[in-house]
Amino acid sequence: MRGQVAPHDFNEIIIDTLLLTEPQLKTWLNVNVLTDLGENLPPLFCERIQIVQALINLLTNAHDAMPNGGEISIHTRYDADGKRFALQVSDTGSGIPKAIQKKIFDPFFTTKEVGQGTGLGLSIVFGVVKAHGGEIEVESAPKQGTTFTIYLPKEPIQKPVSEPRAKNHGRY
Ligand SMILES: Nc1ncnc2c1ncn2[C@@H]1O[C@H](COP(=O)(O)OP(=O)(O)OP(=O)(O)O)[C@@H](O)[C@H]1O
Ligand SMILES: [Mg+2]
């Protein structure tokens, strides 16, 4: 199925994703989700459902990294000079050891127990970002937390194409 690229309100996508996942988020004990959404953002040309999927995967990972609870912060901005959006998802969780940071976007790379994760979440995020002509960065400090930053150009370089979902990535 080919996806639809259309202009969307970036913040609205974030808010709708949080509403969509609210029943799940409510079961995340001691996890607070904070938002800091930039003002007057121009429209983002994107395939909405893909951005939703990417955010859900990042939220799920953030939750998994905080078994004793913590804070997830979601931050959006538009950089008019660079003509690109930034989305940051930060957590106060376990952090990602430097040695494995290069591998986390590889399909099937997981540090989770068998049955807990397939290692596809971040490879899907990576695919979504690349399909929109964007970049993704990770910053992490052991036991302090992790921040993923996604940069998306105002208008995509190439038309993103939805791929069939590799699996029912379904804990939401
Ligand atoms: N926010 C995070 N904090 C700490 N480690 C993380 C975080 N996000 C990802 N990781 C690490 O990167 C690995 C790969 O993440 P990815 O989302 O691709 O797979 P997964 O979460 O293990 O499984 P799945 O997403 O398929 O359920 C994780 O197993 C974990 O080690
Ligand atoms: Mg994951």
CA of 13 from ligand 2 middle (Å) equals: 20
Question: Once rounded to an integer, what is the mean pLDDT over residues 20-49?
Answer: 96
Rounded CA separation 17/49 (Å): 10
Whether the predicted model's global pTM rises above the 0.75 cut: yes
pLDDT score at 170: 45
pLDDT computed for residue 171 by the predictor: 44
Token reading at 28: 């995340």
| Half-sphere exposure at residue 149, Cβ-oriented, CA atoms within 13 angstroms | 10
* pLDDT given at position 114: 87
Distance between CA atoms of residues 87 and 132, nearest Å: 13
The percent of residues above 70 in pLDDT, for the chain, comes to 89
What's the pLDDT score for residue 166?
A: 52
Q: Which long-range contacts (CB under 8 A, 24 or more apart) does 101-109 make?
A: 101/138, 101/140, 104/138, 105/136
120 C-alpha to ligand 1 centroid (Å): 8
Pocket of ligand 1 (CB under 6 A): 57, 61-62, 64-65, 91, 93-94, 96, 104, 109-112, 117-123, 146
Token pair, residue 109, equals: 């790379």
Q: Which two tokens stand for residue 58?
A: 């990042």
61, 123, 128, 129: residue to mutate for ligand 1 pocket, most atoms within 8 A of CB: 61
Closest CA to 69 of 93, 87, 45: 93
**Band of residue 4 on the pLDDT scale cut at 50, 70, 90:** confident
